[in-house]
Amino acid sequence: MDNVHFSRLSPLTILLRILQRIPGLVIPVYFIYTQNDKTEFYFLIISIFLGLIFFSFYLFDFIFYKYLITDKEVVIKQGVIAKKERVIPIEKIQNIAMEQTFLMKLLGLCVLKIETAGDTSMEGELNCVSLKKGNELSDYLKNLKHNFEQTVTLADESIANELEEDKVNTQNPTQDEETLIFELPTNQLLLFGLINLRLTLLPIIFWIFGIVSTYANTYIKEIIDRIEDTFEGVGNQISNIEIALYIVASIILFVISSVVIDIIFTFNTYYNFKLTKSKNKLYTSRGLLNTIKGAIPINKLQMIVLKTNVLKEYLGFYGLRLETAGGGRFNGAEIAIPFAKLELILDTLKHILPIEFPDDYLKISKKSIARNIFKQIVTLIIIAFFLNYFSDKNLFYNLYFDLVLGFITVLIFPFAFLSWKNKGYKITERQVFIKVGVVYKSVKVIPINKIQTLSISQSIWTRFLGLAKVTIDTAATSNQFDAGLRDLDIESANEIFDILSKSFYKLSKEAKHIEKI
């Protein structure tokens, strides 16, 4: 590439950087100045020296920052000591934004942000160019994108379609017919809140407790002392049964108030929930106090999650969450159906994507149980020793501590078994189904043609056990940690890897074929 065609940022950028730096310098300068009044001279020299260093940093940054915008791509070269060169193809650009702070306005500068679907930190940024140049470039890029959109059809599902839709929607909002495909009746809201099993109070209580204990430490101590004084004689009179009753009662009270709060929250959030469908976009609208509206472009769908918990499953109720690419307001995840019977959800899904949920799932390796038990017990031991280290007395001599430890240890075994039993996967021609969860259960559906990358990994420990983990990476942003299959036998992991990569190519060829027609 010729260096001749590269352009630089506006030279005023250096001035801007220096001006931006000044407010941060005020406080240290003030302190140094007021405390060492005898060393003013040295201070002056040091500050001039530092200033020169900063200036040269900015100068070199400016000199080595070059960009090139052609009709195919944006190239940004930067770095004085560590060099970096970034290439952003025009067709991958999602959005072009111009920003101006007050200082920039004064200097006639602006920041041109070139956003892609990748990580938010990975986008291109021209910081800063002159306002005129910024306008020129953004017009130029938008034009290119516009031309590009007209040539692209089905295959590139991610960007072009959405932009087209947006255009259609802004031009003729009433053109597309919106059909109501799901509505949550108000009488079901009560049931929904009742069996949601969210311990909403727990974080609130911890929060209040945290605030109180930091700001009113001495006050609480006084109260505790007073209580101890009053109950000094009474302590012996209360029997163990009574104490147990008190504990049970407070737990029940806690659960009840938690449920009540949950019902109120649920009412507020999901009141008058409606899911409507236009040509290729879904719209949700909900809320009692604030009406919240969301849009889900169907062809941008990355993952579909069917959620439930033990109680809901027993009564036959499920929820549906759709995840799209890009970190939007809801981190790319949108509740499409908060609460409904399974048949109704499956019926509604027919309007969105034709999906057949499998009846039986393939199991992961049984060694998973042993691995989980081992992992939990090691964690428990570490936590126990950690707690012991930070307490004044030896906790292991404490009967209650030992009882709790024993209780948790006993619980680990059935839980590991249940979590193995509830895990499963199934690969069909077009989708991958992953089932997880003991108390809060979910089935994740990943369309194979949306796979971004596919990984298979083994740690030393899992290699020893002959296990492997397959990670299916999509552009869905909210559920980034568990779109994978842990504890598979290495053979079946390799098999899944092969099947998925093959069907990925099959599907992308199909898409190309459709595009040609």
Partner 1 sequence: MKLNPDVKGVWVFGNIVRTIFWTILTFIIDLFVLKNIDSYRLDLGVISGIIFISGLLVSFVFPHFKYKYFEFELQDEELFLSRGVFIHTNTFIPLARIQHIDLEQSILDRMYGLSKIVVHTAGTRSDELTIPGLPLHYAEEVRDFLRKFIKEDVV
Interface residues with partner 1 (CB under 8 A) are: 72-73, 79, 81-89, 91-92, 116-119, 122, 148, 151-152, 155-156, 158, 325, 451-460, 463, 471, 473-477, 480, 497, 501, 504-505, 508
Quote the least distance from Cβ 15 to partner 1, whole Å: 28
Nearer Cβ to partner 1, position 196 or 324? 324
Quote the least distance from Cβ 324 to partner 1, whole Å: 11
Locate 476 and state its tokens: 């869905």
Nearer Cβ to partner 1, position 234 or 460? 460
Coil, strand or helix at 151: helix
Euclidean distance between CA atoms 126 and 128, whole angstroms? 5
Quote the least distance from Cβ 36 to partner 1, whole Å: 22
Token pair 């255009």 in the structure block, residue: 167
Nearer Cβ to partner 1, position 313 or 473? 473
Nearer Cβ to partner 1, position 92 or 363? 92
Quote the least distance from Cβ 456 to partner 1, whole Å: 5
Quote the least distance from Cβ 406 to partner 1, whole Å: 30
The answer to whether 113 touches 98, Cβ cutoff 8 Å, is: yes
Nearer Cβ to partner 1, position 148 or 192? 148
Nearer Cβ to partner 1, position 401 or 504? 504
The answer to whether 112 touches 104, Cβ cutoff 8 Å, is: no
First to last CA, the chain: 37
Nearer Cβ to partner 1, position 26 or 460? 460
Burial 461-495 (b: 16+ CB within 10 A, else e): ebeebebbbbbbebbbbbbeeebbbbbbbbebbee
Minimal CA–CA distance to 504: which of 431, 437, 455, 435? Answer: 431
Instruction: Mention every residue, 6+ apart, whose C-beta is less than 8 A from residue 515.
Output: 153, 154, 155
Euclidean distance between CA atoms 94 and 96, whole angstroms? 7
Quote the least distance from Cβ 318 to partner 1, whole Å: 26
Euclidean distance between CA atoms 370 and 377, whole angstroms? 11
Quote the least distance from Cβ 479 to partner 1, whole Å: 9
